């Protein structure tokens, strides 16, 4: 039986967040098809009609949930970078390491991404969100690569191509970590990613 959260009077943002959380929970449990309007409303503890107050369509709600998931992963990759030394190489290494380490590599997040990606080719809202979140992550990575190259006295014209390649590398390791977490020792993928970026950029990124 689907669990229903008890109704609590809350502000607009809190209710919107609850709907998004309920949508992500349902997709994680049963795929996109499980996230019906009725099931979302039941899980969030609201009436189905209230969903229309926040989202024009169910597809808009699912897209907003995907956006929340992906932006959260990007922010987690950038977590605590300000605590690192004021060094572009250290900041890039920190970002790369975070992107293939917990909590970013939580299996639930990878499963949610995989479930949502099947909607991208046929849903314009999902495609727009996927494009924006992909470019958001890649843009951060490109900026850090550009700063690292500049600090090393290297040309920065190749930073876009390097960011595309580097993003693909991180995506692959992230999927492996989330799909088969028991196959890797703690910190193993972080070390692999940083060393791979060092070779890709022809720079020595710090691991610790």
Six token digits for residue 10: 């809350």
What's the CATH architecture for 12-54?
Answer: Orthogonal Bundle (1.10)
Question: For residue 104, is the peptide bond before it cis, meaning its omega torsion is within 30 degrees of 0?
Answer: no
What's residue 184's pLDDT?
Answer: 96
Q: Is the pLDDT confidence value at 30 over 60?
A: yes
Enumerate the domain spans of the chain.
12-54, 61-201
Other Cβ atoms within 10 Å of 30 Cβ, number: 13
CB 173 within 8 A of CB 77: no
Using one digit for the tens of pLDDT, what is the confidence trace for 79-126? Answer: 888 887 789 999 999 999 999 999 999 999 999 999 989 899 999 999
Q: Is the pLDDT confidence value at 9 over 50?
A: no
Using one digit for the tens of pLDDT, what is the confidence trace for 163-182? Answer: 999 999 999 999 999 999 99
Dist. CA 16–CA 145, nearest whole Å: 36
Mean pLDDT taken over the chain: 91
What's residue 82's pLDDT?
Answer: 81
Q: Is the pLDDT confidence value at 208 over 80?
A: no
Using one digit for the tens of pLDDT, what is the confidence trace for 136-166? Answer: 999 999 999 999 999 999 999 999 999 999 9
Annotation: CATH topology of 61-201: Tetracycline Repressor; domain 2 (1.10.357)
- pTM for the predicted model, two decimal places: 0.88
């Amino acid at each position: 039986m689907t669990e229903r959260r008890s109704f609590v009077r809350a502000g607009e943002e809190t209710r919107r967040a609850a709907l998004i959380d309920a949508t992500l929970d349902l997709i994680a449990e049963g795929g996109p098809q499980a996230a019906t309007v009725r099931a979302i409303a039941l899980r969030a503890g609201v009436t189905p009609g209230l969903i229309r107050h926040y989202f024009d369509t169910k597809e808009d709600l699912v897209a907003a949930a995907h956006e929340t998931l992906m932006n959260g992963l990007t922010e987690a990759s950038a977590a605590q970078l300000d605590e690192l030394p004021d060094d572009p190489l250290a900041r890039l290494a920190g970002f790369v390491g975070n992107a293939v380490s917990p909590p970013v590599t939580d299996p639930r997040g990878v499963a949610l991404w995989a479930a949502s990606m099947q909607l991208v080719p046929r849903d314009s809202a999902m495609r727009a969100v996927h494009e924006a979140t992909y470019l958001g992550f890649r843009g951060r990575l490109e900026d850090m690569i550009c700063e690292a190259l500049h600090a090393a006295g290297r040309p920065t014209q190749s930073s876009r191509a390097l960011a595309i390649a580097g993003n693909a590398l991180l995506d692959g390791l992230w999927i492996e970590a989330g799909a088969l977490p028991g196959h890797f020792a703690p910190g193993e993928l972080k070390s692999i990613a940083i060393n791979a970026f060092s070779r890709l950029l022809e720079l020595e990124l710090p691991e610790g």
